[in-house]
Amino acid sequence: MHASPLVTSEWLQTHLQDPDLVVIEASIGKVIGKEPIEYDSPVCIPNAIKLDIETDLSDLTSSSVHAFPTLEQMRSLLKRVGINQRQTLVIYDNQGIYAAPRVWWIFKTFGFDKVYILDGGLPHWLQEGRAVASAYTASTGCLVDDALQLHSANLKSSAEILSNIESSSFKVVDARSEDRFMGRVSEPRPGVRSGHIPQSLNLPFLKVLDGHLYKSPQDLDQIFVALALEPSRPIAFSCGSGITACILLVAAIVSGREQVSLYDGSWAEWGAGEGFPVEGEA
């Protein structure tokens, strides 16, 4: 396998019957920032299992929206569905590229090396006329590797984001729309202020996509260079609740940037916290 986080539909088609391959659909019910794709009837990639990002892969004991799962939660989930770190995981999304990068980053943060995103997701797979199924595969439980651990450097806390406003040790890039970033429109979540984190940059997530696919590594590099984000510059990505930020995070990795992290609380936490400074508030 190559170092890219992405695999093509051709690659997945070729390897679909590999015994150590696990295909995971990781879609999300509520889509913000793009027109949702609706399906008339159940359809999935053959042999896929379904993980729910809002229940299976969110810490429901946290007050934060879509909070990162805990180590114990992840260990319990993997045992229930029968996934371990020796397997190759391919994650796809029924919206093309939307929630799958978030789920990819969760698995990477818990130490999975052989985990990839299907570039283009289910829409691209369907456009190419590839085989589909009407039901997910039932998962079979097994023991989880004892080596499972959370790599905390992949995540940023609100305290780290706050101190960075003074230290500028990394750059914060916000994946929300320009109107939300500038505070021209109300936030979709009640009680959350409009605007953005001081000194953060705006890169709406749709700008790194070409239809359902990621843009080329060269085009993505040019996008980040235009924001003065050279490969050596550490970047923390933010959005509304930590989902679409991961679209940019993966785009940065594809472009050759490796010093990346996720502000998991994102604007749902920052905009609701009275002690956090805001720019661009209407």
CA Rg, the chain, in Å? 18
Domain assignments of the chain as residue spans, ordered by start:
6-150, 153-270
Instruction: Please indicate whether the domains covering 6-150 and 153-270 agree at the CATH topology level.
Output: yes
Catalytic annotation, residues: 239
Contact 277, 131 (CB under 8 A): no
Q: Which residues are within 8 A (CB) of 268 and not within 5 positions of it... i.e. 6 or more apart? A: 64, 65, 66, 189, 192, 240, 241, 242
pLDDT in tens, the chain (282 residues): 457 999 999 999 999 999 999 999 998 888 888 888 999 999 999 999 999 888 888 877 776 767 889 998 999 899 888 898 989 999 999 999 999 999 999 999 999 999 999 999 999 999 999 999 999 998 776 655 667 899 999 999 999 999 999 999 999 999 999 999 999 999 988 889 999 999 999 999 999 999 999 999 999 999 999 999 999 999 999 999 999 999 999 999 999 999 999 999 999 999 998 789 999 865
153-270, what's its fold?
Oxidized Rhodanese; domain 1 (3.40.250)
Cβ atoms within 10 Å, residue 253 = 21
pLDDT at 1: 45
6-150 is classed CATH 3.40.250.10: yes
Q: What is the dihedral of CA 245, 119, 251, 108, to 10 degrees?
A: 70
Cβ atoms within 10 Å, residue 238 = 28
pTM comes to 0.95
